[in-house]
Amino acid sequence: MSHFLLGLEEGGTLMLIGMGVVLLFLCTLIFAMSIMSKIVIRLNEIFPEAVPEVKSKSSKSVNSIDDTIVAAIAAAIARKRA
């Protein structure tokens, strides 16, 4: 019985040490990521990325439908009904 309790005590100690190490690692990771985030935000203010301008190729509105598309849809509906 004494051998069992000794093993249980060692297992519990090892478990608590392991959980403590994992908790310490995760807290360090969160701290490091928050510091890196602040550094990246600061660097982005100093060296902003150039955003290319997108020029429209046509003056049509986005919602307008081409006449050929309308004709194709009408032909498909007529064929389906026939």
For position 10, what pLDDT does the model report? 95
In the chain, helix, strand, coil percent, each to 5? 75, 0, 25
pLDDT band for position 77 (50/70/90)?
very high
* 6-61 tens-digit pLDDT: 999 999 999 999 999 999 999 999 999 999 999 999 999 998 888 888 876 665 55
Task: Say what the pLDDT of residue 48 is.
Answer: 87
Q: Does 19 reside within a domain?
A: yes
Question: What residue has token string 């060296």?
Answer: 47
Assess if residue 35 is contained within a domain: yes
Residue 46 lies in a domain: yes
The pLDDT, as a whole number, for residue 63 is: 59
Residue 68 lies in a domain: no
Residue 72: φ, ψ to 5°:
-65, -40
Question: How high is the pLDDT of residue 7?
Answer: 92
> How many structural domains does the chain have?
1
C-alpha to C-alpha distance for 56 and 13, rounded to whole angstroms: 68
Domain that holds residue 5: 1-50
